[in-house]
């Protein structure tokens, strides 16, 4: 199996965590979308990372790749069998991918770290501060209210936790974390999720890549 995509992408990280939780071996091509390989272009019709190859089968999109991996390697299950819990896990995946990502990945991480470093684009601090101070706090409060136990849904890790946890790594790399005094459950939850063996080495690698302590 081969994964195409650069490590700092939250969507690439999501798939890497799914692969790690399922203990699956894979190769990775560190594809950046501004310098795509010819092979990548043929398997990602929208030009987005991640893309994936399993023998002669190819797929694009982190949600689709994760769903495929669940079907071919069902254990440990990352999608609940209970219908409502299954839908709730998908909801948190959606909340991460289309709710958090445009704020954390684009207005904060790309704006502050990737743009200035790799694209020579200037850091827009006003955009960053508005995201941090106005747009994220209600989202933190929402997640705080949803956390009833160790995981967002049921009693085990789901695709919802992996998706949310992946976006929050980019927030960490941007130098921001939810204040534990205001959002204690969320802060503790993220600490737990990010210290899992599937997440921890990826976070250490990302920090090293950007020279973050």
Ligand X SMILES: N[C@@H](CCC(=O)N[C@@H](CS)C(=O)NCC(=O)O)C(=O)O
Task: Name the residues that contact ligand X, by CB under 6 A.
Answer: 9, 11, 33, 47-50, 61-63, 97, 105
Q: How far is the CB of 1 from ligand X (least distance, A)?
A: 16
Residue in this structure with the two tokens 């950007």, named with its chain if needed: 210
| CB nearer to ligand X: pick between 98 and 133 | 98
| CB nearer to ligand X: pick between 62 and 198 | 62
Rg (C-alpha) for the chain, rounded Å, is 17
Q: How far is the CB of 145 from ligand X (least distance, A)?
A: 25
| CB nearer to ligand X: pick between 47 and 74 | 47
Q: How far is the CB of 159 from ligand X (least distance, A)?
A: 11
Q: How far is the CB of 59 from ligand X (least distance, A)?
A: 10
| CB nearer to ligand X: pick between 9 and 158 | 9
50-59 contacts at long range (C-beta below 8 A, 24 or more positions apart): 50/3, 50/4, 50/5, 50/9, 50/11, 50/12, 50/15, 51/3, 51/4, 51/5, 52/1, 52/2, 52/3, 52/4, 52/15, 53/1, 53/2, 53/4, 54/1, 54/2
Q: Which residue minimizes CB distance to ligand X?
A: 48
């Amino acid at each position: 199996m081969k994964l195409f995509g650069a490590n700092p992408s939250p969507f690439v990280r999501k798939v890497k965590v799914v692969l790690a939780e399922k203990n699956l071996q894979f190769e990775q091509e560190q594809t950046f979308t501004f310098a795509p390989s010819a092979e990548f272009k043929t398997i990602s019709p929208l030009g987005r990372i991640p893309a994936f190859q399993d023998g002669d089968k190819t797929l694009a999109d982190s949600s689709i790749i994760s769903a495929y991996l669940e079907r071919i390697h069902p254990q440990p299950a990352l999608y609940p069998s209970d219908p409502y819990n299954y839908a709730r896990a998908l909801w948190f995946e959606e909340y991460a991918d289309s709710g958090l990502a445009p704020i954390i990945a684009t207005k904060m991480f790309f704006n502050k770290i990737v743009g200035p470093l790799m694209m020579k684009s200037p850091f827009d601090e006003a955009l960053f501060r508005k995201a941090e101070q106005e747009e994220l706090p209600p989202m933190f409060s929402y997640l705080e209210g949803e956390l009833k136990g160790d995981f967002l849904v049921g009693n085990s890790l789901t695709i919802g936790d992996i998706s949310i946890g992946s976006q929050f790594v980019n927030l960490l790399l941007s130098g921001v974390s939810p204040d534990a005094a205001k959002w204690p459950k969320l802060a503790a939850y993220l600490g737990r999720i990010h210290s899992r063996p599937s997440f921890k080495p990826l976070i250490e690698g990302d920090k090293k890549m950007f020279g973050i302590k």
